[in-house]
Every structure is written in structure tokens, then in C-alpha cells.
Chain A
Amino acid sequence: MSQVYFEDVEPGYELTPLIKEPTREQLDAFTTAWGTSAGRFTSDEVARSEGFTGVILPGNMSMAFLAQLLTEWAGSAGKLKRLEVDFRRSVQPGDRLNCVGLVTDTDTEDGENRVILDVYIETQKGERALQGTALVLLPNKP
């Protein structure tokens, strides 16, 4: 994977979106690794009793997709420094998630090349399920 450099980036730059289509199997693998029995993530019945149409993804699972978008973009010489995300709507297995990052500002502070981004996940219904901001540090072009 080619490394992105600070000089390549300016406000308005959009990352290549990461498309995620989490399956029920992936959700089950996630909750198994977690060791959680929290009902709404594992039981359709419990999720329905709470007003959902079926099991939902933990907010931190969807948020991890945004972390993946950013760390893959930052590459081995870049670093995800901060991620601030609000959980706005639930996400379910079978949803098609468009994970988006848009650069809003860049600056250099204390020798660090800082890239500020707006990030969000939009579902196939056009709703923003998660939304927030991120700070990524990028290397200079050699």
C-alpha cells in the first residue's frame, strides 16, 4: 500500500470511502470475542422488545470501521491520534455502510503534521449513523 504524505493533503481532500457490509456471522464473531451476552447485540427477541427490528451492532463495532478507514489511509508511517464519534442511529447486520473521511484542516504543531477530518458512516438509507471528527498525523514527503 502506498504511503500518503502530509504534502498530498489539503482541506476538501476526501479519503477513498471504506464500504462495510457487516453480516450476522461477523457480529456473532465480534460478540464472541467480546464475551458479551448483552441482549440487543445477540438476541433478535431482546432487540425487538427494545423497539429494534432485530439485533444491532454495538456502537464501538461501527466506530471501529471508522478507525479502520483512518488507519488504512494513514499507512504504516502515519498515526491515528484522536477519534471522537457520536452514535446517532443503530446499525444492523445487512446494512451497507459507507465510511467517509473528509479533510477539513491541516497544520504543523510541535513538529507534528496534523490532519483534521470530519468522519461519518452513512447507511444505505442515507442516514448518518455515526458522525464525528478525527486527528491523523502524517509524515513529510521524503
Chain B
Amino acid sequence: MAEVNPTDAIDFDRSVIGVEVEVGTHVADKERMMAYARALGETNPLYLDEEAAKAGPYGVIIAPPLFYNLFGLQAGLDPKVVFGNTGFDGGQHVEFYEPIRAGDTIAATTQVADVYAKTGRTGTMVFTVRRTTFTNQDGEKTIVMDRINVRRDIQR
């Protein structure tokens, strides 16, 4: 019996794969960074203590690593995956470069890096990987993040 690659059977817009688009900029607000750090129960003085941060390696308050999740960016291009009746947040794969400092202006670009299907014990799931690159006002890369969305069929 011939093996069928499940990805070949998925209906989506292949023309958007790898096309990078701007999805907005975010000005890192010190108060918001500190509120986020406190909500997480962080105790690192570099996130929470202005005096300590001033004396530290960055000279200003920096954000905890995953602060970029609060940016509220545009969605970017839609691969229009037609599959399943429900979607969920499958996870994130993140690479860290320069920290985000209070007052930074961070620009974000996104591409749909991949769409693929996997068939396992619980049926087929379709994964959409969106890769977002965050760059600060000095042109330094701060974060590259793959966000994985999963679509599947569940019996209701």
C-alpha cells in the first residue's frame, strides 16, 4: 500500500509560506514590565528594582524572557488551513538574544514558517508554525519565536 503524506492532503494556502510581513511595533513600558514580572512571582531585581537595574549590566529595568507575549501584534498572513473543528495553542519554541529593556521600541515581523499534518493514535492534527522575529530600535535581534497552533477534530 502506498504511503500517503498527510500534509499533502491538507487544504491550505501554500503561497503564504515563508512570506515575511510587519506585524507592528511595541514600546516596552517599564510599569507594564514590572506588573508582568510581579504577576509571575518573579523576584529578580533586574526586573523589579530600578536602583539594582541601574547598577546592573543593562543600566535599566529589563523584561522577563517571555514578556513579548503581551505585545498584542497583528496576526500576519493567514494560511487558511481548512481542517478540524477546534484549534488550540500548541506551544512556543523561543530563541533569546538581546534582552528587552524599558523604553525599547521593538518591531516584529512574522512569517508562516510551516504547515504540516501528523497522524497518531488520536487521529490527525494539523500544525501551523508562525515565526516572529523581534528587533529593537538599534537593529539588534531580541527574540525569534515559533508559535505552534494545532487544529483537530473533537467529538462534541
Partner-B contacts on A (CB < 8 A): 20, 22, 26-27, 29-30, 32-35, 58-61, 63-65, 67-68, 71-72, 76, 79-87, 130, 132
Contacts and interface: CB of A to CB of B under 8 A. Distances in A.
A29 B39 contact: yes
B38 interface: yes
B91 interface: yes
A71 B62 CA distance: 13
Contacts, number: 86
Interface stretch (B11-19, B65-73, B75-83, B113-121): B65-73
A82 B95 contact: yes
Contacts of B40: 26, 30, 61, 64-65, 68
**Chain B: interface secondary structure?**
mixed
A33 B94 contact: no
Nearest to A35: B72
A121 B93 CA distance: 16
A84 B93 contact: yes
A86 B69 contact: no
Given A30-B36, A72-B44, A79-B96, A64 B64 contact: yes
